[in-house]
């Protein structure tokens, strides 16, 4: 029996777990951070909660006799990814980073790339008064001191500190272009702020912003640690096949 740990919470992680669910001789455990109150659960075994950093994860990999790790967390989950790669190196367990491709600007887009949420906050006063903030409920403190109006969209209610003038919309993607266009118009949005998460579930807001001429402040992804990588669940499954059965046909 081969054992695989999938660090999940993304659509790609759920897709990978589904692809692996019925494979004989394979036991897959998906790990969720536990930051969302009602997460979408993947197929197979699920554990919720942290490991205690790289040291704790390395100990868990040894104890559970894990044969391979796939980090399929959010592109901005920098600490988790770093811990996964470090723990895998310490234990000799093969590790893969699964990341969906980043969004790329196209004709007609007005993108303002920044390196962090704090840089996004610094840029906003010169761009507009009514901001659609789609960076999730964490990190909102970076915008708390701004005297601007914010529409904040998140899966769970955000916690303070928040900007003084904030309206919250609780929703989970996927979103349609028609819905996003209507939302931008209804709230008279001047500027959209997003992380470059990639993927189709929340890309419609970028199309709506382009159609309405709304500038988009795009927080770029953090650098990825040196490790094998894949950009789809299918490619990750192929990598697992190769590393788990590497010596099966050796003479």
> Which parts of the chain are beta strand (E)?
2-7, 26-32, 45-48, 68-71, 95-98, 111-114, 130-134, 149-154, 165-170, 191-195, 216-219, 229-230
pLDDT digits (tens, 9 = 90+) for 29-58: 999 987 777 788 899 999 999 999 999 999
Q: What is the 3-state secondary structure (H, E, C) of 146-184?
A: CCCEEEEEECCCCCCCCCCEEEEEECCCCCCHHHHHHHH
pLDDT digits (tens, 9 = 90+) for 138-158: 889 999 999 999 999 998 899
111-219 architecture in CATH? 3-Layer(aba) Sandwich (3.40)
C-alpha span between 132 and 184 (Å, rounded) = 8
Do 2-100+223-244 and 111-219 fold alike per CATH?
yes
* pTM assigned to the model: 0.88
The domain covering 2-100+223-244 belongs, at the CATH homologous superfamily level, to NAD(P)-binding Rossmann-like Domain (3.40.50.720)
Domain boundaries along the sequence of the chain? 2-100+223-244, 111-219
CB atoms within 10 A of CB 151: 21
């Amino acid at each position: 029996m081969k054992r695989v740990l999938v660090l999940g919470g993304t659509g790609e992680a759920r897709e990978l777990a589904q692809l692996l669910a019925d494979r004989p001789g394979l036991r897959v455990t998906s790990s969720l951070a536990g930051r969302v109150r009602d997460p979408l659960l993947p197929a197979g075994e699920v554990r919720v909660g942290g490991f205690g950093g790289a040291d704790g994860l390395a100990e868990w990999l040894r104890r559970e006799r894990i044969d391979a790790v796939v980090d399929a967390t959010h592109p901005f989950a920098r600490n988790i990814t770093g811990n996964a790669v470090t723990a895998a190196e310490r234990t000799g367990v093969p590790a893969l980073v699964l990341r969906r491709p980043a969004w790329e600007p196209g004709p007609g887009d007005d993108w303002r790339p920044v390196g962090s949420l704090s840089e996004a906050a610094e840029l906003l006063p010169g761009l507009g008064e009514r901001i659609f903030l789609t960076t999730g409920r964490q990190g909102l403190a970076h915008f708390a001191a701004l005297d601007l109006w914010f529409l904040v969209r998140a899966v769970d209610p955000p916690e303070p500190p928040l900007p003084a003038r904030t309206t919250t919309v609780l929703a989970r993607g996927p979103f349609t272009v028609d819905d996003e266009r209507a939302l931008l118009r209804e709230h008279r949005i001047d500027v959209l702020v997003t992380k470059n998460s990639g993927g189709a579930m929340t890309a419609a807001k970028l199309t709506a912003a382009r159609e309405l001429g709304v500038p988009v402040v795009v927080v770029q992804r953090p650098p990825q640690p040196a490790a094998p990588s894949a950009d789809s669940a299918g490619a990750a499954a192929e990598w697992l096949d190769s590393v788990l059965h590497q010596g099966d046909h050796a003479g």
